[in-house]
Amino acid sequence: MSGGPHYSVVWTRATPPPTAHKTSRTEVTHVTIAFLVLTGDLVIILSGRGLLYGGNIFAPIPLYFVLLALAAALTGFIAHEMAHKVVARRLGYWAEFRMWPFGLLLSIVTSVAGFLFAAPGATLVEGMDPRNTRGWGQTALAGPSSNLVFAAIFYVGSLGTFSVNADLSVSLLFLMYINALFATFNLLPVGPLDGAKVFRWGARKWAISFAVAAAFLAVSTALYSYGSPFLAW
């Protein structure tokens, strides 16, 4: 599996509506569609139904894979995008998520093929001056930061459940890995990704945040591959 969420923060020139606005039906619709598509993608990958592995995508899917995919999409994607929104709103700007239809279609095609490149959409922010590198950096960093918080929580959960239920412990390691992957990918300092905005805010801030995310990814990959939250280095 590769890739991560599509760029998460986009600047538009429209006059910002009042920051106290309620979540629009449009945003709810876009978030719901993107969430369901990404969950479906993860189900296909987790259950080994991709054509690359000779799987049958029409075969019955165990509930376990559905629940794991839901948790991964909820924490890795929804929480990530809502973190962008919350920070932007606190800074006084209008912000809402909008799905990217082509990116969603691409995620379906790749998951059916047997690997995943997910590009669900972006959180739009209106009214923030593009020269406000601090505001953009804080807003951009919020998404990956939420992923790393969840990664840490899932690791603690894996430690606590290993002696009781090893399967649950490994599932939590997978969720740790997914969140660490999303955080690291989004912090790449290229194009419209979060990392580019953080880098413009400050190279040192970006280096520290990327190093932390990469460390989480390396550890979670090793632990998940090993199948235990305890690993003899």
Of residues 35, 37, 71, the one with CA closest to residue 168: 71
Give the model's pLDDT for residue 5.
Answer: 46
Q: For residue range 191-212, what is the model confidence (pLDDT) as tens digits?
A: 889 999 999 999 999 999 999 9
What is the rounded CA–CA span in Å between residue 190 and residue 63? 37
Confidence of residue 14 (pLDDT cuts 50, 70, 90): very low
* DSSP classification of residue 121: E
Confidence of residue 144 (pLDDT cuts 50, 70, 90): very high
Instruction: Copy the structure tokens of residue 149.
Output: 């918080």
Q: How many angstroms from the chain centroid is the CA of residue 46?
A: 16
The rounded percent of the chain whose pLDDT value lies above 90 is 73
Q: Is residue 126 annotated as a catalytic residue, yes or no?
A: no
Q: How many angstroms from the chain centroid is the CA of residue 86?
A: 16
Which of 29-38, 51-60, 92-101, 119-128 has the weakest average pLDDT? 51-60
Q: Which residues of 92-118 are buried (b: 16+ CB within 10 A; e: fewer)?
A: ebbbbbbbbeebbebbbebbbebebbb
Domain ranges of the chain: 9-225
Q: Per-residue pLDDT for 15 more than 50?
A: no
Query: What is the arithmetic mean of pLDDT over 110-123?
Result: 88
CA distances from 15 to 19, 22, 25 (A): 11, 17, 20
Who has greater pLDDT, 195 or 20? 195
DSSP collapsed to 3 states, 178-221: HHHHHHHHHCCCCCCCHHHHHHHHCHHHHHHHHHHHHHHHHHHH
Give the model's pLDDT for residue 182.
Answer: 95
Q: For residue range 155-169, what is the model confidence (pLDDT) as tens digits?
A: 999 999 999 999 999
Confidence of residue 50 (pLDDT cuts 50, 70, 90): low
Of residues 139, 99, 141, the one with CA closest to residue 118: 99
Q: Per-residue pLDDT for 113 more than 90?
A: no
Residues 173 and 223: beta-carbon distance below 8 Å? yes
Catalytic residue among 27, 81, 96, 126: 81
Mean pLDDT of the chain: 88
Query: What is the arithmetic mean of pLDDT over 64-70?
Result: 94
